[in-house]
């Protein structure tokens, strides 16, 4: 049950972030807010459920630690984006730990699934790479450099 729910968590996380980065790229703020809220409403309970299952099914302590890091990333996101409504992406002192948590949370979600099922892990890795590409292209300065737009 844990492995299947971890795959569902990874799918939800990646697919919703792909949608969010796409919407950010096309600057659709109304849908972006809705998908951002949907992301939190879906991913946080899934992550908490998997954390509880990791304890009840006596998974390795690293699995639980990885899930805690994913939750810390989600809490960081909720606190800065939704509670404080702070534009933290322009302040390197907040952006640096956020990015570290973002990359590690993504790594954790891929690696936990990869360890138990290579096919599901490869699917999540492919989605994560897609997510990274859309994330990069959601930033206007990267689009301009890549396409050499003026």
- Domain residue ranges of the chain, discontinuous segments joined by +: 2-138
Structure tokens at 92: 């390197």
148: left (phi over 0), alpha (psi -120 to 50) or beta: left
pLDDT level of residue 146 (50, 70, 90 thresholds)? low
Long-range contacts of 93-98 (CB under 8 A, 24+ apart): 98/73
Q: What average pLDDT does this structure show over 72-85?
A: 92
pLDDT, tens digit, 9 for 90 and up, residues 23-37: 998 889 999 999 999
Compute φ and ψ for 149, nearest 5 degrees.
Answer: -85, 150
pTM equals 0.88
pLDDT, greater one: 38 or 144:
38
């Amino acid at each position: 049950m844990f492995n299947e729910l971890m795959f569902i968590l990874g799918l939800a996380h990646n697919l919703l972030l792909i949608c969010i980065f796409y919407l950010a790229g096309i600057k659709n703020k109304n849908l972006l807010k809705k998908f951002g809220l949907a992301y939190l409403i879906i991913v946080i309970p899934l992550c908490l459920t998997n954390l509880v299952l990791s304890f009840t099914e006596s998974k390795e302590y690293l699995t639980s630690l990885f899930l805690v890091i994913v939750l810390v990333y989600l809490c960081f996101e909720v606190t800065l984006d939704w509670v404080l409504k702070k534009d933290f992406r322009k302040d390197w002192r907040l952006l640096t730990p956020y990015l570290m948590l973002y990359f590690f949370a993504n790594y954790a979600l891929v690696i936990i699934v990869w360890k138990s099922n290579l096919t599901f892990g490869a699917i999540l890795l492919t989605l994560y790479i897609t997510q990274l590409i859309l994330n990069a292209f959601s930033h206007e300065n990267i689009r301009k450099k890549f396409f050499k737009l003026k």
